[in-house]
Amino acid sequence: MQELVLNLLEPARMDMGVELKLEACDPGQLLAGVSEEFRPRAAAKEQTLTLELPKRPLPVTADLTRISQVARNLIGNAIKYTPPGG
């Protein structure tokens, strides 16, 4: 429910010019956490969710809340629109 509310509020924040909260992060760690969060949903549809990361961290500067939201939307949609067994 919280994710849905955040998604609905995002366009309003952008219109108001809310600033990004940039910080150094490793997107691999972020994606690993989001992937683990979605594994039960994928398993329920008999889907395989795999994550292949580079051997070295790739540090970036990003707004962790927003980049997490993007990753959750992408992975959630992939699970939603992939047929069972995919």
Domain ranges in the chain?
Answer: 22-81
Distance between CA atoms of residues 80 and 47, nearest Å = 10
What pLDDT is stored for residue 8 in this prediction? 63
Contacts of 34 (CB under 8 A, 6+ apart): 68, 71, 72, 75
What pLDDT is stored for residue 6 in this prediction? 65
What pLDDT is stored for residue 42 in this prediction? 96
pLDDT of 18 strictly over 90: no
Mean pLDDT to the nearest integer, 63-83: 91
**DSSP-derived secondary structure letter, 55:** S
Mean pLDDT to the nearest integer, 8-15: 63
**What is the pLDDT of the chain when averaged over all its residues?**
86
pLDDT of 41 strictly over 70: yes
Query: Taking the model in full, what pTM does it have?
Result: 0.75
Q: By three-state DSSP, how is residue 74 classified?
A: helix
Give the tokens for residue 84.
Answer: 């069972």
Residues of the chain with pLDDT > 90: what percent?
51
